[in-house]
Structure 1
């Protein structure tokens, strides 16, 4: 082999890398990138990992040269493990002269098991000392061991591609978040246009199938009307054979779905044939072949309805399945996303079973949606639920009607829904925001109003919408977004404004310690009649003094949970 590292060779590699960089889809980019490395190294095989900083793990994204090793796609290994982990920690490439004898080689993975591995070159992909991933090529020609020029060429290729990979991955993550947010917003909009359980569950499971990139999804509910022999009944099944699965029953406790419902466990299997719990009857009846599965329980939430309307306790009412992940196994991210959709499905089942009126269905789904939005803001967990509790306590103390209190509950739950459109970097920023970031954060009032003002929602939420738009307005006109004052601020927004500030003051933030409830009420009292509605402030103070169960701060609730 000619090892002269000529300008022509370097330019040729850079040109090929530039052509590869034109790929706009992450999967295609990674696949072609590994092809480049294998070709330029004259190697027999290769693997490409991406680094997951949240879990300090390396994730298999591409495997070349061994068809059997495609099962590794999506697998996660600790970033400290194997030769790849050693190279990542050292921030330097590693050349292994004899893979079989190297103590760092992790044989437990079975990577490229069908090849007899000899040599390996492992190159960490680093930007400003920040790991992005690792490329490995195997069985390089024997004379490459002493050819520094060849290895330098691979480093040049890595330096060119790492920036492209990093930017494409960030763009891919942004697009994925946007798709998920649009799905949640669309589900929220549809919830007020239909009470049809089948339609709502199909919508949720269609989104889940699309976003998880799998072949089929299904929702199963406990049917115990025929006690003492309850069964699990499929309400919705999406995919090519979905219509043959809908309505099918499985004996309670049998199959993977039965185990999940009975135990509350989450099961993720790359190959169901290796699990004795797999119930083959459904596959035989539908003609669908299950290979991989992600199965989660349906936790129906504890639902508090309007005054004198009762309470529905939390419990497991069924399970949801995602089948046959395309392009690899189900990941940790898939589990988290599917749980979110399963929670939405559980709420639909719970409410449709117990109640027939639109208000109750809307309330349960809004709670699920708002909790999903609140979960994005790591500095402000369960904020909307607490604001809703405080707002309801104020409304009750003011002597409002049950119908008005129900509107207050909905409006306060939805008051920060616009944060679905605020970037994660701003929501999760540990310190104070810049002027530009503050403008973006404040836009959540108008964004929330716009999201929930669609034609299908506007009539149903006509009382609640001012709470979304005006909860940061102040009586003296110094609020936002429009700087309105006095009686121009709606009654529901005045209630939510007081509840919102009370929670902000009494909650922990990265830049401040929580205030006591007494100090927060004193702050509001000093400004009543100027910034805040006097009657609302006084109602909150009375509710707190009476020990109203809803007026408990973030710190007090945490202490109760232990």
Structure 2
């Protein structure tokens, strides 16, 4: 068969192989196989393939063949007008170079074929509807490889056939990447709503931002209205510990500008921006190169009921610093960060409102227990000590954080019913008579009525507190008061507070007796374990005491004055 007779068969074979390559939807695989085929057709020694990024007007080094050292350059970017590849892209035509090494257009400093002695080169721009998609370069091919029009036609048909598939694969890859980032964003937002603990919330936001945007670090700045400046509450990235708690004057730096104006700012070279606050890098040791900064704009929040609503306002700003790929922030990066910041601002504001409400609630509890102390000066500090002892017992018993929080409140309020006990009984320096003692024994009932009459039993935060108020004077043998409950009928909170209450009563000063030595008090509790007190709670108090988490009235005063 003559060469002329072989050409149709060769054409058919190449087209069939091109069709097989086109069946791949994986961009890297498609590019790799295309370059292999072009090297084979041209009998070249090596080759490279670039893709064109229209957004940045750059060539991205994607594939290299025949040069192991060149593989380290994969992913690197060059301005689109650089070297012979850039020349091919600008002129939209393939061309042959007889002597690459001495061609002034050859970009030697890139070193893509550093270990090869270069002679010839053929460069093919990949075009789709007159727009550049990429560039293929093959090296050290015989000068006779492209002598005839048939070879050029074959390469033209091949690249035309596959350039469409390259663009499809690239778009598919981009779509997949965007979908993954959007899925990650949805997952991140769902995770943000699982905590209202501010520092943990801020840490999550910044770590998620570093992950989502692939940046070296991210930071959140909140407005400190008392000092009229901006404070860095948390930072993500490897230098997190070194850069927390830095401050910037209001309006200073890029972050200050963003918070004051409410604008989103992208600066891909901060050294050229006069707003960049260089002192931050000096203080932190972190080198900022590029920054994406967005305001944290909390929306108007409708609280409902008599509280009405909280007006929307800018509470701070968020920064993403230094993309790890060294590329400028993209429009997609900006949109993702703005979305994350918007959701973060809402949750941060809710966390602040929760913290304010929780602080108010705690202060109100302290005010109530303080009122009890004012009525009964002989037991001043008793409610706080019983609360601390109860929590220590609960910790030994392995209660959850939520249970410990409820127990702390419940035990602090355990004597709130004494507010209704007449002063002449509470303040009597001697022992009470039978009638007075009967009235005093009603304080657990009065406490329960206090919660109910003030609508506090309806609060989720106090849903178990009533048992500590009502049952802390009950006994396991049923001889307690006010209800004469037995064994398991007494709640765990009631049993815990009963032990904590008696231990403090025994070891504290009373007008009619001095404090009992700790060892005697513990022995008394142990003798009553199983009849009066829950043995497990007694042992938990003894363990907590041995760990130093339970201190008596006198011991606390010594620590306070030391």
Larger radius of gyration: 2
Report the TM range for the smaller structure's normalisation: 0.3 to 0.5
TM-score (norm 2): 0.45
Tell me the TM-score normalized by structure 1: 0.45
